[in-house]
Structure 1
Amino acid sequence: MIAKTFGRNCEVVVHDLTTPQNSVIFAVNNHVTGRKVGQSFDHLIREVLLSGQFNEDFVAGYETSDHNKESIKSSTSLIRDGSGKVKGALCINYRLNSLSHVQEFVEDMMTFGEETKPTAEVQRDNVVEIADEIIDSIIKGYDVEHLKRKEKIQIVKFMDEKGIFLIKGAIDKVAEKLNTSRVTIYSYLDEIKKGE
């Protein structure tokens, strides 16, 4: 419905965050960013949860770009279940270059959301809670007691690529979930960086 309302330059993507490694479960007009079913999320941590705009479970009108560096106006809203747990995300990505011929409309569409300021404590608690749920979802499919070191490093690498460790307390949470120490997580991260 959203894509048909705004046309072929409007991409709509739905993520199932209970399966973070392949969270994209629906994409329409995916020529805008190239998102495909089965891919993982990209911008959720850095450009949504940690943005100064994140409030009331959504960010509207933040700027991203496609592989050609063309400007895209994006909005992301989290989806919670009846008990309040984050289960998914709805993302809308609109390619702006097609609007350049209509001056007034372009100026309106290219105005990015203003930074809102919920209380710092509420914002921090909400982001930490969401990150904890994503960490739990990433690890839930593994038998932690029998994971080999190499498998743990792969899990940590995935989390690092997705920006999980940018959130305060994430290293301790991951160490606890993987039954290891925070020093070990740091050593995994060092090894990942040396390997790259």
Structure 2
Amino acid sequence: MKQEELIKIMIGVAKGIAKVEGRDTEVAVHDLHEMQMVFIANGNITGREVGTRMDKSIYKMILRQSDDDGHMIAYRTMSEKGKRLRSSHFIIRDEKGEPAVLICINQDDSKLEELRDYINYKIHVNTDEECSPGDSGGNIIQNVAQNAIMNSIWKMTTGDLDTKEGKITLLKELKRQGIFDVRATTPYICKALSISQTTLYNYLREIKNEGEDDSTPLRLK
């Protein structure tokens, strides 16, 4: 199947998703051969439009963090206007198994969150987040690291994650957020940046030597 035909089919799928989910859900289709957006519905949510170039660092992060099916589901991101979004990505591969199309879904859950808060208030539900018996500690930790990494990448305006400088810029932001105080996040961060734990430790030491860190010792979990 030609790239143009695949894109046409995926745009049809994206239109259907947008109709089902409604106006609070943005659905975009990216041509990964040209690395640009070819379709978007409800683009007012992020302010993007057709023709927007795809950021190479974000694309590579999606490739690293997606599951075996090429899916990255329901992680937190933030729009340029500071709006919290629930985002998902689906990588569509061609007949040769190469990434060809990316479907991006950004959902504005603010109305649902307001409704949830109202219901919790009315019925006096304890809203403290607790782990259910079926929760996996590893999954929770992975989500914490993944969300922090993706949110920080969306905020980055300088630095490419393919460079040492870009990686250090991201690590400074993650350290500022206290991500390294969360146990067992280090392996996920190393995977996302394609670096070893030794390299990560060296980068963090450089940050400390630059005076970007406080006086507390480095703690790799």
Whole-angstrom distance in 1 between the partners of 2:70 and 2:43:
24
Counterpart of 1:87 in structure 2: which amino acid? Answer: A
Deviation beyond 3 Å, 4+ runs, structure 1: 104-107, 114-117, 160-169
Counterpart of 2:106 in structure 1: which amino acid? Answer: N
Aligned: 1:30 with 2:43? yes
- Tell me by how many angstroms 1:98 deviates: 2.0
Number of corresponding residues = 117
- Tell me by how many angstroms 1:115 deviates: 6.5
- Residue of structure 2 in register with 1:17 after alignment: 32
- Tell me by how many angstroms 1:168 deviates: 4.6
Deviations 1:37-76 (A, max 9, x none): 1111233223x2343x644211001111112211100000
Whole-angstrom distance in 2 between the partners of 1:17 and 1:164:
18
Aligned: 1:74 with 2:87? yes
- Tell me by how many angstroms 1:11 deviates: 0.3
Alignment of 1:1-196 (within 5 A): 1-20=16-35, 23-42=36-55, 43-46=58-61, 48-51=62-65, 54-103=67-116, 114=139, 163-165=161-163, 168=194
Stretches of structure 1 lacking an aligned partner (at least 5 in a row): 108-113, 118-159, 170-196
Question: Which structure ranks higher in relative contact order (CA pairs < 8 Å, sequence separation ≥ 6)?
Answer: 1
Counterpart of 1:67 in structure 2: which amino acid? Answer: E
Deviations 1:8-53 (A, max 9, x none): 1100000001012xx100001000111211111233223x2343x6
Whole-angstrom distance in 2 between the partners of 1:161 and 1:56:
29
Deviations 1:103-160 (A, max 9, x none): 18999xxxxxx4698xxxxxxxxxxxxxxxxxxxxxxxxxxxxxxxxxxxxxxxxxx9
TM-score, normalised relative to structure 2:
0.45
- Tell me by how many angstroms 1:88 deviates: 1.5
Whole-angstrom distance in 1 between the partners of 2:104 and 2:140:
19
TM-score, normalised relative to structure 1:
0.51
- Verify the 8 A CA contact 1:55 1:116 in the aligned structure 2: no
* RMSD over aligned Cα atoms: 3.1
Q: Which of the two has higher C-alpha Rg?
A: 2
Identical-pair percentage = 27
- Verify the 8 A CA contact 1:3 1:28 in the aligned structure 2: yes
